[in-house]
Structure 1
Amino acid sequence: MARCETCGNDYDRTFEVHMEGKTHTFDSFECAIYELAPRCAHCSVPIVGHGVQKDDVLFCCNHCATAVGVHELRDRA
């Protein structure tokens, strides 16, 4: 059995994610998202969907981008 790197659960059905040259082991998608998903620059929520981006800064939504002064982004046109 392998151990989840997020929660430490020793589980017989773990899976690996290969990302940026590293191998990560998880027991659930929830743990993988918590560990690997980018975080919103404003509210720190893990960005699971598309999000919005200004230069290299990621936001979970237009509301968070606007909250820090980025006004040209849109969730939808």
Structure 2
Amino acid sequence: MAVCEVCDNDYEMAFEVRAAGAVHVFDSFECAAHKLAPICDTCGCRILGHGLETDGMFFCCAHCARAKGYTRLADHA
């Protein structure tokens, strides 16, 4: 069995995720998202879908991007 690197659960159905040259082991998608998903620089939520990124900052939506002064970003083109 493998141990989840987030919650330390020793789980027979754990899985590996390879990202940025590293191998991570998780017991659930929830733990994988907690560890790997970017965080919105405005509201702090985990970005699980199509977020926005500019100048090294991540946003969950255009509203949060505008709050930081990035007025040209849009949720839909």
Asked if TM exceeds 0.5, the reply is yes
How many residue pairs were aligned?
77
Partner of 2:6: 6
The normalised TM-score by structure 2 is: 0.91
Partner of 2:52: 52
Partner of 1:65: 65
CA offsets, 1:25-70, max 9 Å, x none? 0000111011001111111211111111222211010111111111
Cα RMSD over matched residues? Answer: 1.0
Identity over aligned pairs, percent: 53
Q: Which runs of 5+ in 2 are unaligned?
A: none
Partner of 2:37: 37
Q: Which runs of 5+ in 1 are unaligned?
A: none
Partner of 1:17: 17
**Paired residue secondary structure (1:23):** strand
The normalised TM-score by structure 1 is: 0.91
Which ranges of 4 or more aligned residues in structure 1 deviate by more than 4 Å?
none
